Structure formats: structure tokens, C-alpha cells
Chain A
Amino acid sequence: MAALTPGAAAAGSTDPATASPPGPARAHSAHRAGRAALRAGAVLLRRTLVLAALLAVVFTAVEILPGDAATATADRGDSAAAIAARREHLGLDRPLWERFTDWMTALPTGDLGTSARGEKVADLLRDPFPNTLALAGAAFVLTVAASLALGCLAAARPGRRTDRVIGHTATTAFAIPDFVLATGLVLVLSLWTGWLPAVTVADASGKPAEWTMMIMPVLALAIPQTGWNTRIVRAALTDQADAPHVEAARLDGLSTTRVLLRHALPGALPVIATGIATSTGMLLGGAVVVETLFNHPGMGTVLAGAVAGRDTTLIAGSVALAGAAITLVLLAADLVRAKTAGAGR
């Protein structure tokens, strides 16, 4: 497998302002704290603006479509007048700009708009979204742990068999679509061996009835992403191995484990954080797909219905929620980067 050096993309994906050294070293500490706060504010503002831009694009795209919620939900044989009345009822006769500002200003208050059937989108998503988030979150934690462990293991034995096996397995793993993996898992772990339930059953509160029902969906999501991130961890550690301070630690005769964990890993963290943060979108999107396979009570079912019913507000609301979740993880990655950059200089 090719040697991996991820520095370039990390530089490409961060704002120069956040990655640059935090001013002259002599600066007063209070002054420095003020600057840090300012920088954090700037990053927060930028991420929020990017999220707003995405929502604007989505909202406009949805508007350009032929047909709207009123015609989509109309019964066959409804007169043009009835559809017009419905359009007025849903507020679709108002200008695009006005509706967009209304929708956007309502978002921070938790109001995601009204679905094509006249229900509150926030109410429709209240129960399923946390379930999807729990699935993606569990897969995220597993991905972080597994890819750090495997990446470090490979980097500790560069060029040896362990390294090659982990490298090829990772490349193989991240190519497999999650729903294909999920199908294979169901067949092996459930239908042939009977170890795990094949279908998720929700209890009275709308959550999966048993935690064992989460195992297969989480594995199906985490395995491909672990493959991808293991390569990033391995590559970032390879980059760090050439850094002068890591070389010095190695020449001092410290153990490989200590050099790796205490000297190389901290410097590699910004790249790793960026890589893992970008997996969030894949995990959330994958969760929606895998849910439909396991009948997990999450967004997958709601969204499948929304596509069939041409319910654009419902999908736009889901995009807003997913975008917000991804923004939070990206902000956390920004934080890791800023902290490492600050401590390193």
C-alpha cells in the first residue's frame, strides 16, 4: 500500500486563521486568552455561516423543483381551486425569500416548519432523530477507538506483516457499502447462528427494545469508517515519525510504545481529528440506510416516507438537523486543532 501523508489535505480543509501560530510568544497571557476567545468566536461564526449557506442551497433547490407540497399531497381529482386553497393554507403562495427567512429564523427556536401533511416537522422527527443519533454516535465512538488502536498498532511495526495486513484489510473494509455489510452480518450473525436478533423491535417509548439490537447496525456502520480512518491514523503517525522531536525521543532510547503514544500521537491528532470528523456525514447517512434494513425506529423510515410523499419540508428539516450535528463534530475537530497548534508553539 502506498505510504500515506495527509498533511496536505489537513492544510486544505482548515482555515489558515485557525491553524496559524497564535501571535508572538511574548504576548501577555490575558491578551492571549482574549485572542483565543476571539478566534474561537470566529470559528463558531464561520461554521454557523456555512451551515446557513447549506440550508439556503437546499431550500432554493427544493423550490426550483417542479411541483410542491400542495400538489404532492393533493388527492386525485382535487380541483385547481382546492389545490390553490391548500397552497394558501400551507403558506406556499408567499414569496420564496419571505418563506426562507421565516423558516431560518424559526430554526434556532426548534421549529423546523410544517410538513406537507400539515404536521410539525419537529414533532415528526422528535422520536426518530435521537435513535439515529444514538446509532451513529455509537458507531462514531467505536470508529474512533478501533481506528486509533489499529493505526497505532500498524505504525508501531512499520513495513512488517502486521502493518501490511492492517493496511490491506483497511483498504478492503472501506470499499464495502454499509448496507451490503449489514446484509452479510444479518445472514451470518442472525440467520445462520441465531446469536443476534435480525430485526429491531421498538418498545413502548419508541427506543430499540434490547441493546443487542444495536450491535449489527453499529458494526455495519463502524467497519467501513474504521477502515478509512485507520489509514488516516497510520499516515498521520508516519508523517510524525520524521519530526525532529520524535526522532530525538527515539534516539533517547525510549520504548516504541512510549515514543508512539507520548511523542508522535499528539502531533498527529489535528489530522486525525479532521479525518474522523468528516466521517460523521458518512455515519449519519449510512445510519439512515442501515435502519431501513433492520427496521430500526430512526430517521430512515421517516425519510423513506418523505421521499415517497414528496415531503420537501420534512427532508429539509432532516438536512438541517444532520447538518447541525455534523457542524458540532467539525467544531470539536477545530478545537482539537487549535489546542494542538497552540500547545505546539
Chain B
Amino acid sequence: MTTTATSTDNGAAAPTRPGRRRAARRALPLLVPAALFLAAALAGPWLAPHTIDAPVTATYAAAGDGALLGGDQLGRDVWSRLLHGGGELIGCAFLIGAAVTATAALLGCLAVLRPRAGRILERAADVAILLPSVLGIMLVALAWPDGGRWAVITAAVVLGTPFAVRVVAAAAAPLAAAGYVEAALMRGESSLSITVRELLPNLRGTVTALFGLRFVEAVYIISTAAFLQIGPQPPEADWALMIRENAPGILLNPWAVLAPSAAVALLAITVNLATSALAPRTQAVTSA
């Protein structure tokens, strides 16, 4: 769905301390919801009153009577399943976001330092853009029928990295011409050393924003895959799977569908808003 590219500082002087503090104050209201939501979703399993597979109500029982959000298609407690259903999604999205960001940070800097490698990576992004992520996931699910979560994670990392590389490369390009990078090149330092010691410390803002966006993108991919029944399998409690399983009973107990829908949406929205707050002020967002 999304990728960012960051352009260079627009020549403004480095932010002063009070300026920085003001920026932090402005960012805080956008960071707190994400932190609270993540904490709640991760602590959920300990707060759940029932197990995820014990039938406690009638099929699609309405809310109330011991079940806060009613029952699902097998009479299991929707509230308990909701509390259990986020941890794995968040964990996987975190893993994908971290893997894509780390790979992209290294390859993006390499693309800038070695123009030939840069051209190859650029072409890879051109190819990847032609493959809708949903079709990509289906292909990987075919290739690796027993892969489950790992198949989806692999697909998301492979499909997401080319764009992310482009974002880092766009942000790193102006830095590569900086005097201290040229000096390091002249000293004969390796590309890896220049990347880690000279380039990446100056790309903190870009990399942080990139991680946030890749996390949101990963939530989209994992939940879409789960909705298409690729990844988590039925007895599991998973928000996207709950939406699909309980859709037939949406009129009997709307909460069985509404609650997991809201959970997925809130997860993506809070993290996305937090990301936009953390992004550097001279952030450039474009698609890739």
C-alpha cells in the first residue's frame, strides 16, 4: 500500500533544543494511543475470561449474559477471542516491519554507494510493482502449502523490500555526496562500514518512519492473507479470521464481526498516526 521517500533537509539549520521539545510535545498525543493499544492487545490473553475454544454461549448469542460481546459461530466468547487474537498479528507485523526495514536500510545505502548495484535494485522495484501483494501471497501460499504464518511473512518481506530500498536510497543519495562520506571512501573503508557508521546515523528519521509504514503495511498483508484463509487456521483466534468466520451471523451478533474489524482498523490507524508524528518534518511521502 504505502512507502515513503524522504527528501533532504530543506537547508534549515539543525533543530534547536526548544524546537525539538516542541516537536516532541506535538508528537505525544499521536504516540500515546498506539502505545496503549499495543499494550492492551499484547496483555489481552491474560485478561481473557474464557479460553479461545470453549463454547460458553449459544451460536451467535447476543452480547450480555456472561459474554461481554456475545458468542461466535460456535458459541465461543467473542471478547476472549478478541483479547487473544492480536498478539500473533502484532508479533508477525513487527517481525516483517523490522526485517524489511533492516534489509532496506543496508541495501538502500549500498545502492547509493555502488551505482551498479543501485540500478539492479531499481529494476527489482520496477518488477515488484507489477505484482499486487494479494496475488504474491497466493503464489507463496501455493509454493509453500505448509508454511502457514511463515509463508505469509516470507511473502511480505520479499514483496515489501524493493520499495523500501527505493525509499532509503532516495534519502541516502544526497548524503553520499557529503564530505565525510567522501573522506571515508577515500580512506578505503568498506561499504558496510560507511553504511553503518556514516550513513545510517543520519537516516534515523527516515528509517523510523519507514519502520512505522512497513508495520502498517504488514498488518494489511497479514490480515488480508488471514481473511483469505492463508496463514492462521480455524481453531485459532485471529482478528481477520474472526471477521470472515462470523460474517454469516453478522445480524445475529454484530459484535462478532464489528469488534475484530475495529481492532484491526485501530491497530493500523494508531500506528500510522504515530508514524506520521515521528516522521521528520521534511518528510516526503510518495508511492513506490
Q: Which of A58, A279, A310 contacts B145 (CB 8 A)?
A: A310
Contact B132 A65, beta carbon cutoff 8 Å: no
A-B contact number at CB 8 A: 208
- Find out whether the CB atom of B276 lies under 8 angstroms from the CB atom of A284: no
Cβ–Cβ contact A3 & B281, under 8 A: yes
Which parts of B120-155 form the interface with A (CB within 8 Å)? 122-123, 125-127, 129-135, 138-139, 141-145
On whether the beta carbons of A179 and B243 are closer than 8 Å, the reply is yes
Scoring A residues 60 to 75 as 1 if CB is less than 8 Å from chain B, else 0, what string do you get? 0110110100000000
Judge if A113 is at the interface, Cβ distance under 8 Å: no
A235 touches B243 (CB 8 A): no
A279 touches B287 (CB 8 A): yes
Bound: A323/B270 CA distance, A: 33
Among B8, B166, B247, B283: residue with most chain A CB under 10 A? B283
B228 pairs with A289, CB closer than 8 A: yes
The answer to the question of A84 belonging to the interface, with a C-beta cut-off of 8 Å to chain B, is no
Contact A187–B243 (Cβ < 8 Å): no
Residues of B within 8 A of A306 (CB): 138
Give the total of A residues in contact with B, Cβ under 8 Å: 72
- Whether A8 lies near B134 (C-beta < 8 A) is no
B95 CB to closest chain A CB, in angstroms?
Answer: 18
A184 and B171 within 8 A (CB): no
B134–A289 contact, CB under 8 A?
yes
Residue of A nearest to B257 (CB): A183
CB within 8 A of A2: which of B134, B220, B283? B283
A284: chain B residues at CB < 8 Å are: 132
Cα–Cα, bound, A67→B144 (Å): 10
Q: How far is the CA of A271 from the CA of B287 in the complex (A)?
A: 9
A53 to B131, CA, bound (A): 11
Residues of B within 8 A of A177 (CB): 219-220, 223-224, 264-265, 268
Contact A180 B132 (CB under 8 A): no
Say whether A2 contacts B280, CB under 8 Å: yes
Please state if A8 and B170 are interface contacts (CB–CB under 8 Å): yes
Give every chain A residue within 8 A of B169 (Cβ-Cβ). Answer: 12
- Do A9 and B288 touch (CB < 8 A)? yes
Known: A50-B123, A180-B223. A315 touches B135 (CB 8 A): yes
Chain A neighbourhood of B284, CB < 8 A: 4-9, 235
By a CB distance below 8 angstroms, the chain B residues around A217 are none
Residues of B within 8 Å of A64, CB to CB, are 143
Q: Which residues of chain B come closer than 8 Å to A289, judged between CB atoms?
A: 134, 224, 227-228
A21 to B34 Cα, complex, angstroms: 46
The answer to the question of A80 belonging to the interface, with a C-beta cut-off of 8 Å to chain B, is no
Chain B residues positioned under 8 Å from A153 (CB to CB): none
CA distance A116 to B214 in the complex (A): 36
Minimum CB–CB distance from B128 to chain A (whole Å) comes to: 8
Residues of chain B lying within 8 A (CB to CB) of residue A310: 142, 145
Q: Which residues of A contact B7 (CB under 8 A)?
A: 5-8
Q: Closest Cβ of chain B: how far from A139's Cβ, in Å?
A: 13
B1-27, CB under 8 A of A: which get 1 and which 0? 111111110100000000000000000
- The interface stretch among A86-94, A224-232, A335-343 is A224-232
CB of B185 within 8 Å of the partner chain = no
Using an 8 Å CB-CB cutoff, how does the interface string of A32-56 with B read, 1 for contact, 0 for none?
0000000000000000001101100
- CA A301 to CA B5, docked complex, whole Å: 36
Given contacts A191-B251, A228-B2, A278-B288, contact A54 B131 (CB under 8 A): yes
| In the complex, A288 has a CB within 8 A of chain B | yes
Given the interface pairs A3-B281, A315-B135, the reply to whether A9 lies near B228 with Cβ below 8 Å is no
The stretch among A154-162, A168-176, A257-265 that forms the contact with chain B is A168-176
**Which residues from chain A contact B2 at a C-beta distance below 8 Å?**
174, 228
Distance, CA A305 to CA B9, complexed state (A): 50
Chain A residues with CB under 8 A of B145? 67, 310
Task: Give Cα A282 to B267, complex, Å.
Answer: 20
A9-B286, A179-B240, A327-B130 given; 5 more Cβ-contact pairs under 8 Å: A3-B281, A12-B170, A65-B144, A171-B272, A177-B220
Chain A interface residues (CB < 8 Å from chain B): 1-13, 50-51, 53-54, 57-58, 61-62, 64-65, 67, 168, 171-172, 174-177, 179-181, 183-184, 186-187, 191, 224, 228, 231-232, 235, 271, 274-275, 278-279, 281-282, 284-286, 288-289, 292-293, 303-304, 306-307, 310, 312, 315, 318-319, 322-323, 326-327, 330
- Chain B residues within CB distance 8 Å of chain A: 1-8, 10, 122-123, 125-127, 129-135, 138-139, 141-145, 166-167, 169-171, 173, 216, 219-220, 223-224, 227-228, 230, 240, 243, 247, 250-251, 254, 257-258, 261, 264-265, 268-269, 271-273, 276, 279-288
